[in-house]
A and B are shown apart, each in its own frame.
Chain A
Amino acid sequence: MTLDAATFLSVDLPALLAALFACLSCALVGNFLVLRRQALMGDAISHAVLPGIVAGFLVAGTRDTVPMLAGALTAALVAGVMIELVRRLGRVEAGAAMGVVFTGLFALGVVLIEQGPARQIDLDADCVLYGQLEAILWLAPNGWSDLTDPALWATLPRQVVQLVAVFALCLVIILIFLKELTLVCFDPALADTLGLKSGLVQHGIVGLAALAAIAAFEAVGSILVIAMLICPAATARLYTDRMGTQLVVSLLVGGVTGLGGYALAAFGPSLLGYDMAVNAAGSIAVLAGVILGLSILLAPRYGVLARATGRAMRGAAA
Chain B
Amino acid sequence: MLQRLLSDNFIPSADAGVGALAVSGLSVAYHQRLVLRDITWTAPAHGLVAIVGPNGAGKSTFLKAVLGLVPALTGNIEIYGRPLKRQRALIGYVPQRESVDWDFPVSALDVVTMGRYGLIGWGRRITGKHRAAAMQALDRVGMADLAHRQIGQLSGGQQQRVFLARALAQEARLYFMDEPLAGVDAATEQTILAVLRELDAEGRTVICVHHDLQTVAETFDHVLMLNGELVAAGPVYEALTEDNLRRAYGQRASGLRLGPR
Contacts and interface: CB of A to CB of B under 8 A. Distances in A.
A180 B93 contact: no
B100 interface: yes
A193 B105 contact: no
A185 B69 contact: no
Given A186-B111, A192-B69, A196-B117, A180 B122 contact: yes
Given A177-B123, A183-B114, A246 B105 contact: yes
Contacts of B58: none
A183 B117 contact: yes
Contacts of B107: 241-242
A186 B118 contact: no
Given A185-B104, A241-B105, A243-B105, A190 B95 contact: yes
B82 interface: no
A187 B126 contact: no
Contacts of A193: 67-69, 88, 91, 93
Contacts of B179: none
B150 interface: yes
A47 interface: no
Interface string A150-177: 0000000000000000000000000011
Contacts of B105: 35, 237, 240-243, 245-246
Interface string B87-128: 010010101000111001111001100110110101100100
A190 B114 CA distance: 8
A147 interface: no
Contacts of A183: 114, 117
A186 B112 CA distance: 12
For A177, A185, A194, the residue with the greatest tally of chain B CB atoms inside 10 Å of its CB is A194
Interface in B43-83: 64, 67-69
Contacts of A203: none
B117 A179 contact: yes
Given A176-B123, A186-B111, A189-B93, A194 B118 contact: yes
A186 B104 contact: yes
Interface string B216-233: 000000000000000000
B68 A180 contact: no
B150 A241 contact: yes
Contacts of B106: 182, 186, 241-243
Nearest to B104: A186
Given A183-B114, A183-B117, A246-B105, A196 B93 contact: no
A37 B102 CA distance: 12
B101 A186 contact: yes
A186 B100 contact: yes
Nearest to A201: B122
Contacts of B115: 190
Contact of A190 (B93, B101, B110): B93
Contacts of B118: 194-196
Contacts of B117: 179-180, 183, 194, 196
Contacts of B88: 193-195
B123 A180 contact: yes
A189 B99 contact: yes
B122 A192 contact: no
Interface in B154-189: 166
Nearest to A180: B122
Interface string A232-250: 0000010011110110000
Contacts of A242: 105-107, 150
Interface in B125-139: 126
Contacts of A243: 105-106, 110
Nearest to B95: A189
A68 B100 CA distance: 37
Contacts of A35: 101, 104-105
21 contacts: A35-B105, A37-B101, A176-B123, A177-B123, A179-B126, A180-B117, A182-B114, A186-B106, A186-B111, A189-B64, A189-B95, A189-B99, A190-B115, A192-B68, A193-B88, A193-B91, A193-B93, A194-B88, A242-B106, A242-B150, A243-B110
Interface of B: 64, 67-69, 85, 88, 91, 93, 95, 99-101, 104-107, 110-111, 114-115, 117-118, 120, 122-123, 126, 150, 152, 166
CB-based closest 5 A-B pairs? A241-B150, A194-B118, A195-B88, A193-B93, A241-B105
